[in-house]
Structure 1
Amino acid sequence: MGQPVPVSVVALDPVLEAGTTSTLAACPDVDVTVSGERPRVVVMIVDRFARAELDMLHAARDTDARPAVVLVASELTAAEALHALAAGARGLLRRRDADGSRLARAVCAAARGDCTVPPDLLDQLLEHSAAAARTPGEAPGPWAAAGLSDRERDVLRMVADGHETSEIARCLAYSQRTVTTIVHDITQRFRLRNRAHAVAYALRAGLL
């Protein structure tokens, strides 16, 4: 067995944070860090993965150490899982399954660069990926699951292909202002920095 993985815990609920910290402290494969130390993995405990939690994940990742993040949620839909993975999460667990041993395994996997996803949730993600090739009129694919409309999908795909705003507007018969608004709405909704980040987000989520 190698050196224990330095890990820290963050949560919006201090009781959950304290409980998870205590659970991990009893696991020999991990070492809970103290304030000021740099963790290799951050365990993030949430109820659902919405805007506040997305901001929290970005804050955990945007440090000099760039730690991996294991997200533990009460419930996770396929769309929420897509957002979490695209934002940099390296592990997904439901709280009911996150006992000490499973949580420690997910932390160690994240430290190695591997990704842990519950089997049933992985099946849903694979189904969404397979749906990407479906023709219009069939069941919605991952774009719809991620909360993107057909119009937003079309614009973002053209952005990914390197087209300028004027070219996208001309091709899709929109005004340039409409195209700009669509891109702005996408970046604001998913807390993205710019057009390039929006494309990278979609690629990492398997949506392009």
Structure 2
Amino acid sequence: MIRVLVVDDHPLLREGIAAVLGTQPDMRVQAEATEGREAVDLYGSLRPDVVLMDLQMPGMDGICAIRAIREQDPAARIVVLTTYQGDVQCLRALRAGAHGYLLKSMLRRELVDTIRVVHAGGRRVPPEIADSLAAHLGDDGLSAREVDVLRQVAEGNANKRVARTLGISEETVKAHMKSILSKLAANDRTHAVTIAIKRGIIQL
């Protein structure tokens, strides 16, 4: 019997997963959590076989929870559940220690097989996301400061406001934007924001 911990702040999604797993003779939902800290605590006390982890949650997010669980147990088997197709988001999750990455739109088709693959020691990433990961493998990623600048720009702030908010000069903001446009192969600020959201570099 594969014991599963479901971590998601949406009760309907948790109920849906429980219904799907309830039809499988070799699986059961052992426990549910609504945010990362609760998931870490439950993992410590229950040691489930597989964790299904949402990324966007109140309190401790999914990436931090994955790291914390893996610190407790380096052999923990974790599958990310997300609505975000971005390759950067996927890479963060895999680097944190996830073994699978599943879009919520794929749950009905892929969930059961993904749990079995990960439980058996394998990895599972949807082909379209794997293709995106491969396409950007050699890219020079944005620095933490560049992400901060881009997040401010995404909120509609002009360079002067960005500079004031981040405590840097307007010239430094312009330099960061030039670097961002180059790294993302973007035509302008709006294009850069669009690319960053699509790839999971920033979330609005």
For the superposition of Structure 1 and Structure 2, which TM-score range results when normalised by the shorter chain?
Answer: 0.5 to 0.7
In structure 2, runs of 5+ residues without a counterpart are 32-41, 147-204
TM-score for the superposition, normalised by structure 1: 0.55
Question: Equivalents in 1 of 2:86, 2:103: separation in Å?
Answer: 11
CA distance 1:46–1:52, shift in 2 (3 Å): closer
Match in the other structure for 1:148? 143
1:76 aligns with 85
When residues 23 and 68 of structure 1 are mapped into structure 2, their CA distance, relative to the original with a 3 A threshold, is same
CA distance in 1, matches of 2:3, 2:74: 11
The answer for unaligned runs of 5 or more in structure 1 is: 133-140, 152-208
Judging changes above 3 Å, is the alpha-carbon distance between structure 1 residues 20 and 86 closer, same or farther for their aligned structure 2 residues? Answer: same
Relative to 1, partners in 2 of residues 1:23 and 1:47: Cα closer, same or farther, differing over 3 Å?
farther
Describe the shift of the 1:62–1:31 C-alpha distance in structure 2 as closer, same or farther (beyond 3 A): farther
Aligned length: 132
Contact 2:55 2:61 (C-alpha < 8 Å) held by counterparts: no
After superposition, residues 1-208 of structure 1 pair within 5 angstroms as: 4-34=1-31, 37-47=46-56, 52-64=61-73, 66-99=75-108, 102-129=110-137, 132=138, 141=139, 143-144=140-141, 147-148=142-143
**C-alpha deviation, 1:57, in angstroms:** 2.2
RMSD: 2.8
1:85, CA displacement in angstroms? 0.3
SS in 1 for 2:79: strand
C-alpha offsets along residues 77-133 of structure 1, whole Å, 9 cap, x if unaligned?
A: 01001000000111011111111x51111111111221111111101111122xx2x
CA distance in 2 between partners of 1:70 and 1:95 (Å): 11
Partner Cα separation in structure 2 for residue 61 and residue 13 of structure 1? 24
Can you list the C-alpha shifts for 1:161-205, whole angstroms capped at 9, x where unaligned? xxxxxxxxxxxxxxxxxxxxxxxxxxxxxxxxxxxxxxxxxxxxx
Distance in 2 (alpha carbons) for counterparts of 1:27 and 1:70: 18
SS in 2 for 1:12: coil
CA distance in 1, matches of 2:93, 2:24: 25
Task: For 2:83 and 2:29, locate their aligned partners in 1 and report how far apart those are by CA, in whole Å.
Answer: 22
Please tell me whether the aligned partners of residues 6 and 14 of structure 2 are also in contact (alpha carbons under 8 angstroms).
Answer: yes
Aligned-pair identity in percent equals: 27
* Large movers: runs of 4+ above 6 Å: none
Structure 1 contact 91–117 (Cα < 8 Å) conserved: yes
Give the 3-state SS of the residue equivalent to 1:98 in structure 2: helix
Secondary structure of residue in 2 paired with 1:71: strand
CA change 1:15–1:63 in 2 (3 A) is farther
Matched to 2:134, the amino acid is L
